[in-house]
Structure 1
Amino acid sequence: MKYYDENTLIYLDGSYVKAFATGLDLYTQALHYGYGAFEGLRAYNTHNGPRIFKALEHFERLEKSCEAINIPYTWDNRELIDRAYELLSINNLRSAYIRPLVFSGSNMHLTSSTEARIMMAAWEWGPYLGQNLLKVEISDIQRPSSKAFPISSKISGQYINSILASSKAIKNGYDEALLLDQDGYVAQASSENLFIEKDFKLYTPPIQNIFPGITRKNVILICKKLGIELIEKRLTVQDIHEADSAFLSGTAAEIIGIKQVDHIIYKEDWEHTIGASIQRRYKNLVLENENYEVII
């Protein structure tokens, strides 16, 4: 898809500039080594106007991601939220995906950055994985170890694994991939968290070897509000194959049900699953059809 045209503006280092005329540095470590951090936020067209869901939480996580890999973070998060809303306004967007990116300066050495820049772009983007139930495969590409990489941060270079896994899954006729951790347990999808339903309970992998998604956190809070029993435990491939149903969660993907994992097709009708109930509640939440300050 095309993310911008000759009129699209982005936020770059305090100014709004044409996306095609940024003149970005070709010697940055972010380009050569993937040394950068990013976030993904969604703005929804609510009855209160365009609203960015959990904006402060996302920008605070961006700051923590930079701190985790020693990239200077000199911006005020509440000011960045204001800039994000301005970005929506000047691009005439009401529903959009917003991508802030902090990238390091010129440096060909393998040393921590002493300077950084920030860019923020926004574009119209439906649910990342579409709206149909997914066919998912267990990937042979392993999720990075928490001992080798700060996997709780959204670091640019980390997503090479995700690109390889999801690209291979698509080539094999699937929509998405599930990655195992270093101990052989199912961790998550390429960029989404995983939940499975079994005997009217939900299960999801614990934080230790997964990305702690903000949407994941809100799914857990919705479960508490609705009285749904949710258990965090390490899941085997057998657990996934023997589940009654399953779904993925993420800011870009939102809540999306899984039809099939490998050759196993789930027998439970999605519309009658716990995941479908959470999907409906989450949509009401982000559209502010409910008082989310009470729910979350």
Structure 2
Amino acid sequence: MFEAAAIAWHNGKLVEREQAAPSIASHSLHLGVGVFDGIMAYWNSDHYYIHRLEAHLDRLRHGSTQMGLEFSWSNHDLKLGLLSLLDEIPATDYYIRPIVYRAGSYLNFNDTMPVDVTILAVTIARNVDKPLTCHISSFERVSGRAIPVTWKICGTYVNSYLSRRAAEIDGFNDAILLDQEGRITEASAANIFFLQTDTVITPALTPNIFPGITRATLLDIAQALGVEVIERDVCPEELGNFDGAFLAATMMELKPLAAIDSYQYDSSNHLLFLRFLKEFREITQQ
């Protein structure tokens, strides 16, 4: 689980995975100057369903351009590369990780250095039913005004790593991060939704909250089902008012929460969560 396939798509061709590795002197390695995305490829008996591929590739390109990591491959090129990679590896569910970086041995900052694009396929087991526990992290969510969180910059995810690691050390599965004003933003790498009877509440998007593609999918599902979704500021003091909660992200899919700190939830059996889960599974099993 979570092991990358032995081959990768790299700058237009399939190569052994380690041939796409950056130099030990690459400033992308040292400074986290790179942009990535995460895409699910679901193996459904005899074909792959790739969820919102164009939106993921658009996001990758936007972040790369904003970071000065422009590349010449079109979305069509990247799609063909991704499909050619899937054709060459065993058929199963994969988390696809395209990444844009500078592999060359230059520690200095220089926008003229070559940009590499690689697509990895990582095996992943789907386990959407197991509930998670979270705590409110002592690590503050990195400010989107300091480092734009919408670009999926490699270095930004140190914030996610530190908060998740601290949560696991304390016996939890994940962390809920607050912003500079003490508002709930998201988990270490997933958006959060709260359940209150027949209403869903989720933090309103601010520069400190990632506008996830799975989040957008759930908002579409809610509209189709006629479920009210309220996007607003949410504070930790409100956690006792909710009937349940769940996380949503590309790799994680939908995960019910059994607890946030001392607040206990039966999210796995909440009718709203089960409706969202059913609809999401139907989408990904096309």
TM more than 0.5: yes
Q: What 5-or-longer segments of structure 2 have no aligned partner?
A: none
Question: What is residue 31 of structure 2 aligned with on the other side?
Answer: 33
Call closer, same or farther: CA 1:30–1:187 in 2, change over 3 Å: same
Task: Tell me the CA shift for residue 110 of structure 1.
Answer: 4.0
Question: What is residue 225 of structure 2 aligned with on the other side?
Answer: 226
Cα distance between partner residues in 2 of 1:278 and 1:130: 12
Q: Tell me, what secondary structure is at the counterpart of 1:207?
A: coil
Do structure 1's residue 188 and structure 2's residue 186 form an aligned pair? yes
Question: What is residue 256 of structure 2 aligned with on the other side?
Answer: 257
Question: What is residue 294 of structure 1 aligned with on the other side?
Answer: none
Cα distance between partner residues in 1 of 2:267 and 2:250: 24
Contact 2:51 2:284 in 1 (8 A): yes
- Structure 2 counterparts to residues 57-76 of structure 1, below 5 A: 57-76=55-74
Contact 1:249 1:256 in 2 (8 A): yes
Contact 1:98 1:120 in 2 (8 A): yes
Contact 1:219 1:278 in 2 (8 A): yes
Q: Tell me, what secondary structure is at the counterpart of 1:178?
A: strand
Cα distance between partner residues in 2 of 1:113 and 1:29: 13
Task: Tell me the CA shift for residue 233 of structure 1.
Answer: 0.4
Call closer, same or farther: CA 1:54–1:269 in 2, change over 3 Å: closer
Q: Tell me, what secondary structure is at the counterpart of 1:152?
A: helix
- Structure 2 counterparts to residues 41-190 of structure 1, below 5 A: 41-46=39-44, 49-106=47-104, 107-112=106-111, 114-127=113-126, 131-190=129-188
Q: Tell me, what secondary structure is at the counterpart of 1:230?
A: strand
Call closer, same or farther: CA 1:138–1:231 in 2, change over 3 Å: same
Identity over aligned pairs, percent: 27
Task: Tell me the CA shift for residue 101 of structure 1.
Answer: 0.6
Cα distance between partner residues in 2 of 1:215 and 1:2: 20
Q: TM-score, normalised by structure 2?
A: 0.93
Contact 1:105 1:113 in 2 (8 A): no
Task: Tell me the CA shift for residue 111 of structure 1.
Answer: 5.0
Task: Tell me the CA shift for residue 45 of structure 1.
Answer: 1.8
Question: What is residue 3 of structure 1 aligned with on the other side?
Answer: 3
Residue 12 of structure 2: which of 11, 14, 25 is its match? 14
Question: What is residue 210 of structure 2 aligned with on the other side?
Answer: 211
CA RMSD of aligned residues (A): 1.8
Task: Tell me the CA shift for residue 112 of structure 1.
Answer: 4.2
Which amino acid in structure 2 is aligned with residue 153 of structure 1?
A: W
Task: Tell me the CA shift for residue 143 of structure 1.
Answer: 0.9
Bigger CA drift: 60-69 or 104-113?
A: 104-113
Task: Tell me the CA shift for residue 126 of structure 1.
Answer: 1.8
Task: Tell me the CA shift for residue 213 of structure 1.
Answer: 0.3
Question: What is residue 195 of structure 2 aligned with on the other side?
Answer: 197
Cα distance between partner residues in 1 of 2:2 and 2:92: 18
Which amino acid in structure 1 is aligned with residue 263 of structure 2?
A: I
Task: Tell me the CA shift for residue 115 of structure 1.
Answer: 2.7
Q: Tell me, what secondary structure is at the counterpart of 1:146?
A: coil
Q: Tell me, what secondary structure is at the counterpart of 1:74?
A: coil
Q: Tell me, what secondary structure is at the counterpart of 1:63?
A: helix
Cα distance between partner residues in 1 of 2:242 and 2:112: 45
Q: Tell me, what secondary structure is at the counterpart of 2:118?
A: strand
Contact 2:194 2:245 in 1 (8 A): yes
Question: What is residue 234 of structure 2 aligned with on the other side?
Answer: 235
Cα distance between partner residues in 2 of 1:115 and 1:21: 16
Which amino acid in structure 2 is aligned with residue 155 of structure 1?
A: I
Question: What is residue 244 of structure 2 aligned with on the other side?
Answer: 245
Q: What 5-or-longer segments of structure 1 have no aligned partner?
A: 289-296
Bigger CA drift: 208-217 or 19-28?
A: 19-28
Q: Tell me, what secondary structure is at the counterpart of 2:172?
A: coil
Cα distance between partner residues in 2 of 1:194 and 1:249: 6
Deviations 1:231-256 (A, max 9, x none): 10011002233211000000000011
